[in-house]
């Protein structure tokens, strides 16, 4: 089977699940993975035959994809903030919206560094500290560390499997991060953490009653621990973050968090009632997706 024929066949089978654009994008990703050639190279070599090992792997990949398994889990890789990261079913697949959260955090850290170093403070070279709560694949802290190597970064998660993935990615990206296994909802456990200039988080925020609205490939393959919260308290992690910030956020520091767009007002009210100033930001789709909280 030629590369061209394999591409057409794969797109045809994927079209039962995905639209034309997404089917084509996934097929390109798979064939690049199998051949090691970019799209332009595959176009030049479209009549080249796929050898038997590649054909066997293609068949296995196709079977998994048509069973709704996300391509990132099939290939054990995902792209985020210019990096190729390892992912498996222990962690959520990094989303483009979370890259926007990372960029906002980067902007805030630069602004905070300028404030600290330009305020007459004698501690000109103080290393700012950042905590990522619910780190998953480690995509957020690794992105921050690679962008600003002087940051002192901690990342925590309750899942040992997730931390294993995050540590693997940090090692591969040569990003020095202090990982902690912590149940952040346990007040005594999170009290073991030091103070931070910036706290960032993409916590679980989907309530159980919303499961029917979630895509099948998400429900069946992505870790529920990182997705869902109790039906009777969908803001449980934001409440914990608000409490933690009271004692563990340095003066002038801030928290930046991803939120469910339908719960933006409720999250904003929660932080407001805890004495924080807040700012909402929309994502690329025009939805309220991020919130910044700080003490004025």
Q: What is the pLDDT along the chain (296 residues), one digit of tens a residue?
A: 999 999 999 999 999 888 999 999 999 999 999 998 999 999 998 899 998 889 999 999 999 999 999 999 999 999 999 999 999 999 999 999 999 999 999 999 998 876 655 444 434 456 899 999 999 999 999 999 999 999 999 999 999 999 999 999 999 999 999 999 999 999 999 999 999 999 999 999 887 767 667 777 788 888 888 888 887 788 999 999 999 999 999 999 999 999 999 999 999 999 999 999 999 999 999 999 999 999 97
Which helix (DSSP H) or strand (DSSP E) does residue 255 occupy? strand 249-258
**Nearest of 135, 187, 132, 142 to residue 159 by alpha carbon:** 135
Could you tell me the two tokens for 194? 């030091």
Query: Do 71 and 31 touch, CB atoms closer than 8 A?
Result: no
Could you tell me the two tokens for 198? 């910036």
In the chain, the N- to C-terminal Cα span, in Å, equals 64
pLDDT at res. 231: 76
Q: Rounded distance, CA 18 to CA 130, Å?
A: 38
Residues whose CB is less than 8 angstroms from the CB of residue 87 and which lie 6 or more positions away in sequence, other chains included? 72, 73, 76, 77, 78, 93, 94, 137, 165
Q: Rounded distance, CA 8 to CA 50, Å?
A: 14
Residues whose CB is less than 8 angstroms from the CB of residue 29 and which lie 6 or more positions away in sequence, other chains included? 71, 75
pLDDT at res. 125: 55
Query: Do 134 and 98 touch, CB atoms closer than 8 A?
Result: no
User: Quick one: 124 exposed, middle or buried, by C-beta within 10 A (0-12, 13-18, 19+)?
Assistant: exposed
pLDDT at res. 120: 42
pLDDT at res. 123: 42
Query: Do 157 and 132 touch, CB atoms closer than 8 A?
Result: no
pLDDT at res. 115: 63
pLDDT at res. 245: 97
Residues whose CB is less than 8 angstroms from the CB of residue 57 and which lie 6 or more positions away in sequence, other chains included? 34
Residues whose CB is less than 8 angstroms from the CB of residue 33 and which lie 6 or more positions away in sequence, other chains included? 75, 77
Q: Rounded distance, CA 155 to CA 134, Å?
A: 7
The owner of tokens 């007040």 is 187
């Amino acid at each position: 089977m030629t590369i061209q024929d394999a591409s057409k066949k794969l797109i045809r089978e994927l079209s039962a699940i995905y639209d034309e654009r997404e089917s084509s994008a996934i097929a390109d990703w798979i064939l690049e993975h199998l051949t090691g050639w970019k799209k332009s190279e595959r176009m030049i070599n479209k009549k080249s035959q796929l050898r038997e090992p590649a054909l066997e792997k293609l068949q296995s990949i196709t079977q998994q994809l048509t069973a709704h398994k996300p391509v990132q889990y099939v290939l054990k890789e995902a792209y985020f903030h210019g990096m190729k990261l390892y992912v498996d079913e222990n962690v959520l697949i990094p989303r483009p919206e979370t890259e926007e959260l990372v960029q906002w955090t980067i902007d805030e850290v630069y602004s905070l560094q300028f404030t600290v170093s330009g305020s007459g403070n004698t501690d000109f070279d103080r290393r700012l500290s950042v905590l990522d709560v619910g780190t998953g694949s480690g995509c957020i802290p690794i992105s921050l560390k690679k962008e600003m190597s002087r940051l002192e970064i901690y990342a925590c998660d309750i899942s040992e499997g997730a931390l294993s993935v995050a540590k693997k990615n940090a090692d591969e990206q040569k990003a020095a991060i202090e990982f902690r296994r912590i149940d952040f909802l346990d007040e005594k456990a999170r009290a073991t953490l030091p103070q931070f200039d910036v706290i960032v988080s993409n916590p679980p925020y989907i309530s159980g009653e919303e499961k029917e609205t979630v895509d099948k490939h998400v429900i069946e393959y992505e870790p529920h621990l990182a997705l869902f919260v109790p039906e009777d308290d969908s803001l449980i992690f934001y409440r914990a973050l608000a409490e933690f910030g009271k004692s563990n956020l340095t003066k002038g520091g801030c928290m930046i968090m991803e939120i469910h767009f339908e719960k933006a007002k409720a999250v904003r009210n929660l932080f407001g009632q805890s004495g924080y100033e807040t700012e909402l930001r929309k994502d690329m789709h025009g939805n309220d997706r991020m919130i910044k909280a700080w003490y004025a």
